[in-house]
């Protein structure tokens, strides 16, 4: 059997890396597949913290599957083609494990596809281990726990599913960590933005969405001080404008999230800012506005933008 690449989305976050790493292990042990975990970008600081904490080497970065003779892939933590590997349309999608909306997705052949509206792809992969009667190694449990913590902001995000707290509790026990203590350390590791250039900052956790013909980039950064990020607004806007021109985005929405107080500031540039304002029922002042209680791009930003752009 030929090799199968397993990977999360571009600009991989902790859940993308964790779910792909764990699922590649599971697919090899339980299904006998020749899998290799790869990444579609460099892990961010939060993810690097988790990898280092549990002694896991970061997956190698690839840009193309076919360039390496790989013709089958498994996608985790995403399904939209514009968020995937560059030649996704030229390979066979063997399987998908995801917890996001389904969009821009079609295949020529049947596939294994598992989609659940839970807090993380890591949650799904953990349950797959249990269903297959496969023991979860300590390092993989730690990564899966990290993916769940990251995507749910330590189970405080509205994306948290009722089953996630139990998953987190079980994974923490296997990984040998205190859930709250480790979770806070992990999240804080991802808030060190001072060392990031503006170009890096807007690309830490960013995804592209096709919204009624518009190519919209939605990025998110976590912080403990929104004002500190806004002090860099001028240079951030220059980086955003350059990205829009280079990549052809019609709009760029940056979500600056306060992980302590569970609020966000939205910074938006582009040709459809009126639709952004309508999406959240606010008025942008100097290109930004406060969005109370918003911490989830998946549930509190993208659906609202999708509706507004479709109107």
Residue 151 marked as a ligand binder: yes
Residue 90 marked as a ligand binder: no
Residue 205 marked as a ligand binder: no
Nearest to 40 by CA among 27, 58, 28: 58
Q: Are the CB atoms for 93 and 113 separated by under 8 Å?
A: no
Q: Which residues pair with 37 in a beta bridge?
A: 6
How far is it, in rounded angstroms, from Cα 282 to Cα 88?
38
Nearest to 218 by CA among 85, 59, 19, 83: 83
How far is it, in rounded angstroms, from Cα 240 to Cα 251?
9
- φ/ψ (deg, to 5) at 244: -65, -40
Residue 77 marked as a ligand binder: yes
How far is it, in rounded angstroms, from Cα 250 to Cα 244?
7
Residue 13 marked as a ligand binder: yes
* Helices marked H in 93-225: 121-131, 138-152, 164-175, 179-189, 198-201
Q: Are the CB atoms for 38 and 58 separated by under 8 Å?
A: no
Residues at the annotated binding site for Mn(2+)?
9, 13, 15, 77, 99, 151
Residues at the annotated binding site?
9, 13, 15, 77, 99, 151
């Amino acid at each position: 059997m030929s090799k199968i690449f397993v990977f999360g989305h571009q600009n991989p976050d902790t859940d993308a890396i964790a779910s792909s790493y764990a699922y590649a292990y599971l697919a090899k042990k339980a299904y006998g597949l020749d899998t290799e975990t790869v990444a579609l970008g460099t892990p961010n600081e939060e993810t690097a913290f988790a990898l280092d904490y549990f002694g896991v080497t970061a997956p190698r970065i690839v840009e193309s599957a076919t360039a390496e003779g790989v013709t089958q892939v498994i996608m985790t933590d995403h399904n939209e083609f514009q968020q995937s590997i560059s030649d996704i349309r030229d390979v066979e999608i063997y399987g998908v494990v995801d917890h996001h909306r389904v969009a821009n997705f079609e295949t020529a052949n049947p596939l294994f596809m598992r989609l659940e509206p839970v807090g993380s792809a890591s949650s799904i992969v953990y349950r797959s281990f249990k269903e297959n009667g496969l023991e979860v190694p300590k390092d993989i449990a730690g990564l899966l726990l990290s993916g769940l913590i990251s995507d749910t902001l330590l189970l405080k995000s509205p994306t948290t599913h009722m089953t996630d707290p139990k998953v987190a509790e079980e994974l923490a026990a296997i990984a040998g960590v205190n859930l709250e203590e480790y979770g806070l350390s992990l999240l804080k590791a991802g808030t060190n933005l001072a060392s990031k250039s503006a170009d890096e900052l807007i690309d830490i956790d960013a995804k592209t969405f096709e919204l009624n013909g518009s190519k919209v980039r939605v990025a998110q950064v976590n912080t403990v001080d929104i004002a500190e990020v806004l002090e860099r607004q001028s240079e951030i806007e220059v980086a955003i404008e350059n990205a829009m021109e280079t990549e052809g985005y019609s709009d760029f929405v940056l979500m600056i999230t306060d992980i302590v107080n569970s609020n966000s500031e939205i910074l938006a540039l582009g040709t459809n800012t009126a639709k952004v304002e309508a999406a959240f029922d606010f008025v942008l002042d100097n290109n930004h506005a406060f969005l109370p209680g918003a911490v989830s791009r998946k549930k509190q930003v993208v659906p609202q933008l999708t509706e507004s752009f479709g109107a």
